[in-house]
A and B are shown apart, each in its own frame.
Chain A
Amino acid sequence: MAQRIRLSLLNHGPLLITMLIFFVAYMLGGWMYPTMQKPQVFFNLFINNSSLLIVAIGMTMVVLTRGIDLSVASVLALTTVASAVLLKHGLPPAVVMPLMLLMGITFGFILGSIIHFFKVEPFIVTLMGSFFARGMAYIISLTSVTINNDFYRFLALTSIQIPFLPNAYVYLYALVGPLLLLVTIYIAFFTRFGRTVYAIGNNEHSAALMGLPVGRTKIIVYAFSGFCSALAGIVFSISLLSGYGQYAPSMEMDAIASVVMGGILLTGGVGNVIGTLFGVLINGTIVSILQFNGTLSSWWTRIGVGLLTLVFIGLQSLFYRGKKHA
């Protein structure tokens, strides 16, 4: 029994620590700034980080296969611009949204294919993809394009009351991330595909020897990340009701930092998608605390996120070593 508890502690330790750090950070914020105790502040974390959460979920799957996707932020920006311009030309949202998702999937599919068939380092290929998507966004439009579509406006402004909590609400688009999270948890833990992802991350070679479809799974994972980026782009354009090539300038780094803080090993094969949620929430909490403080400048966010990433990586390597000795 003790052995089993020890084992599960080792397996879920990083996730538990992530959760603990989130709660401690949040309570610290609530203690320092009493306004942070309002429930709405907590739900604002979901509203403000809606697209980061979606991007980070896609990134998690890629990282689990021992890859990395640096193109997410650029695909997001490209999606916002492309959908804004298409809507401006009178296309209905029912056409634009699937088209954008299809674009994201195709983009990820192409990147994944290059990575798999040409055996190139994921991070160079996706870097190229990032350049390309950002460049295309600038070619489509140099300036910010506003969205005047009624349906987008409806999605942007509809708020949903949280049951049992007065004066607490989330916008409709903030629910996309949590829903996607549930779907991804199902995919990761209850499907053959999910187990293959973990197997590839642990050891790609032995996964191939076991007869698992390594190539197909890797390509699908990148296509999934492209899908998530496009979805995040739609959410982003809804939340700001505009499209611009310079949106989300370094969101891929935020996403990677969230994934790392969520206890997912960048060496692949270890981690839990739920951790990513808490990684994103920690990221959001740091930003809120800085906003509530008001006197601290914005660059402390970057330094804070950088330091936290360092701490988590240190913890990870400690856990990983402990596991090896166990």
Chain B
Amino acid sequence: MNNNSFFRRLRKNQAFWPLIALALILLFDAIYAPTFFKIGILDGHLYGNLIDVINDGAPLMLVAIGMTMVIATGGVDLSVGAVIAISAAMGAVLINPALGNQLISNDILTKDATNTPLWLIVLADLAAGTLCGLWNGILVSRGRIQPMVATLILMVAGRGIAQLITNGQIMTIYYTPYFYFGNGFILGVPVSIYMVAIVFILAWVLVRKTAIGLFVESVGINAKSTYYSGISEQNVKLLAYTFCGFCSAIAGLILSSYVHSADANNIGLFYELDAILSVVMGGTLMAGGRFSLFASVIGALVIWTFTITMYTVGVPANALLAAKAVLVLIVILLYSDYTQRLMNRFFERRGAQHGATH
């Protein structure tokens, strides 16, 4: 009996299913691509497929953390990819404003120099993203526009704004200190993962050590009754969207630093989809309510492990989209009410304890 309830608690934990998925994919790797687990040391830092997963997946983990907060309030943020592009464009422009100017010849552009100090670039990046998030938040909370539509506006216009900033050019960055965020290592571990850790701890403290997490969940469950309980439902939403913008801005910083360029059209493409997928995989309902930041991060890891595994076993990059779709299909079917009910029936044959959970 005791054993049984332990399994039940484990199964009820939000991180349970994503961890199972991760384990399955790693098992697959262990059988079909044993090289996947090889971790070597090159130039004093770790390298290998697993490190790639963590380093490449860092932006997605960040966006997933922000997206979790938004989805927990019962909303969704479709503009994260566009915010990533805006943040990246901002960084590239501040490093060299002349980059976008076609009249200036190329040789001065390719110098390892910057026009703005690094701290100011980072600050401006974050400020741009946070402002975008704030804009979404105002539209949703004050304008009372459906979240999907409100963020759709920035999704459509955002990449236009990013192109406006970069003057329609793909800006290559030559300033080496900027590369640190995406390619640097501290104690042999990628810098990006430290940034994920900092944001994660910050968010975790914010939602679990203060009442904000509870507010977010209660807004997601019932915004109206939250309002009548004397909590400003508007400000909670505003905070969630702003935080999501902030996370996307950091993701933009890491991504542009990783690929050494800011391509307004393609940077962070499909990130909104991947981020929503991570959150859904992490067991947070799209309708809002109970959420788990940790489970979402694991969800993001699952996606990237899956991606890199597919590359390792030789699936062409183009076919990956279709493979990912099948993954999504399995996940959404597993999480659907119908399957959950079936599973509940399977695990609790007596059926005495369930029923009131929804």
Contact = CB atoms under 8 A, between A and B. Distances in A.
Interface in A134-191: 134-136, 138-139, 142
A248 interface: no
Interface residues of A, number: 44
Query: Which among B319, B321, B329 has the greatest number of chain A C-beta atoms within 10 A?
Result: B321
Given A118-B337, A313-B145, A303 B318 contact: no
B324 A317 contact: no
Interface string A273-317: 000000000000000000000000111111101110110011001
Interface string B328-347: 11001101111100000000
A117 B150 CA distance: 29
A299 B321 contact: no
A119 B157 contact: no
A118 B339 contact: yes
A307 B328 CA distance: 32
B120 interface: no
Contact of A128 (B143, B168, B325): B325
B152 A256 contact: yes
B332 A124 contact: yes
B286 interface: yes
Contact of B336 (A68, A118, A297, A310): A118
A256 to B, nearest CB: 7
A129 interface: yes
B103 interface: no
B318 A257 contact: no
Query: Which among B146, B153, B156, B323 has the greatest number of chain A C-beta atoms within 10 A?
Result: B156
B144 interface: yes
Contact of B156 (A117, A132, A134, A309): A309
Size class of the B contact interface (CB-based, 8 Å): 35 or more
Contact of A303 (B146, B160, B320, B321): B160
Contacts of B318: 135, 138-139, 142, 245
Contacts of B337: 118-119
Contact of A125 (B144, B273, B332, B339): B332
Contact of A131 (B164, B280, B321): B321
Nearest to B333: A118
B264 to A, nearest CB: 8
B160 A253 contact: no
B313 to A, nearest CB: 16
A33 interface: no
B323 A135 contact: yes
Contacts of A117: 338
Contact of A129 (B144, B156, B161, B325): B325
Contact of A299 (B139, B160, B323, B335): B160
Contacts of A313: 145, 149-150, 153
A301 B163 CA distance: 11
A135 B144 contact: no
B332 A310 contact: no
Given A302-B160, A305-B156, A266 B333 contact: no
Task: Say whether chain A's binding surface is mostly helix, strand, loop, or mixed.
Answer: helix
Given A118-B337, A131-B322, A303 B286 contact: no
Given A256-B152, A299-B160, A307-B157, A317 B143 contact: yes
Interface string B149-181: 110111111111101100010000000000000
A302 B148 CA distance: 18
B276 A127 contact: yes
Contacts of A241: none
Nearest to B273: A127
A142 B317 CA distance: 11
Contact of A135 (B76, B160, B164, B324): B324
A132 B322 contact: yes
Contact of A253 (B155, B163, B328): B155
Given A114-B333, A266-B148, A135 B338 contact: no
Nearest to B166: A299
Given A134-B321, A135-B319, A299 B152 contact: no
A4 to B, nearest CB: 29
A301 B328 CA distance: 32
Contacts of A266: 146, 148-149
B310 to A, nearest CB: 11
Given A128-B328, A129-B325, A313-B149, A138 B154 contact: no
A31 interface: no
A206 interface: no
B326 interface: yes
Given A118-B338, A310-B153, A297 B328 contact: no
Contacts of A300: 160, 164
B322 A136 contact: yes
Interface string B131-146: 0000000010001111
Interface string A233-264: 00000000000010000100100110010000
A209 B144 CA distance: 29
Contacts of B160: 299-303, 306
B153 A306 contact: yes
A272 to B, nearest CB: 19
Contacts of A128: 325, 328-329, 332
Q: Closest 8 interchain pairs by CB? A: A135-B322, A306-B157, A302-B160, A135-B321, A138-B318, A132-B325, A131-B325, A299-B163
22 contacts: A68-B148, A118-B338, A127-B276, A128-B329, A131-B321, A134-B321, A135-B318, A135-B320, A135-B322, A138-B321, A139-B318, A298-B163, A299-B159, A299-B160, A300-B160, A300-B164, A301-B160, A302-B160, A305-B157, A306-B156, A306-B160, A317-B144
Given A131-B328, A306-B158, 4 more contacts: A134-B321, A135-B318, A142-B318, A297-B163
